[in-house]
């Protein structure tokens, strides 16, 4: 199996917001869900994940509350806010524009 791919700069927020749009989950599970949905191609390191979650919470795009994880440990569960859903829509539009432009260049060159 090949090595997990490093994330394209600036995509972590999009991936986290999109993951949380599926429903509230605890922090560690966010990274696991991204890895699982991407068929192990994308891997988010905890050193990147938790600062990003904190930043998104400070911006009001996600909210966090304490709860109990499936293994009965105390964990912070994150959920998308209305502002976060709006930001996700903006991020998705930007991603579509960027990925389309990259596709054009790759095909033309």
**pLDDT tens per residue, range 46-101:** 999 999 999 999 999 999 999 988 888 999 999 999 999 999 999 999 999 999 99
Q: Is 5 part of a structural domain of the chain?
A: no
Classify residue 77: in a domain, yes or no. Answer: yes
Domain that holds residue 83: 12-108
- Judge contact between 64 and 77, C-beta under 8 A: yes
- Structurally, the chain folds into a number of domains equal to 1
Band of residue 109 on the pLDDT scale cut at 50, 70, 90: low
Instruction: Look at residue 6 and tell me if it is in a domain.
Output: no
Q: Do the domain assignments include residue 1?
A: no
The whole-model pTM stands at: 0.87
Q: Cβ atoms within 10 A of the Cβ of 108, count?
A: 6
What pLDDT is stored for residue 6 in this prediction?
53
């Amino acid at each position: 199996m090949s090595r997990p791919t490093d994330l394209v700069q600036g995509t972590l927020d999009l991936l986290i917001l999109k993951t949380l749009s599926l429903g509230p989950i605890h922090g560690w599970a966010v990274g696991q869900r991204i890895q699982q949905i991407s068929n192990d191609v994308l891997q988010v390191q905890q050193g990147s994940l938790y600062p990003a979650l904190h930043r998104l919470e400070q911006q009001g795009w996600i909210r966090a509350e304490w709860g109990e994880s499936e293994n009965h440990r105390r964990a912070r569960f994150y959920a998308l806010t209305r502002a976060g859903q709006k930001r996700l829509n903006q991020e998705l539009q930007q991603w579509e524009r960027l990925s389309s432009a990259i596709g054009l260049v790759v095909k033309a060159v």
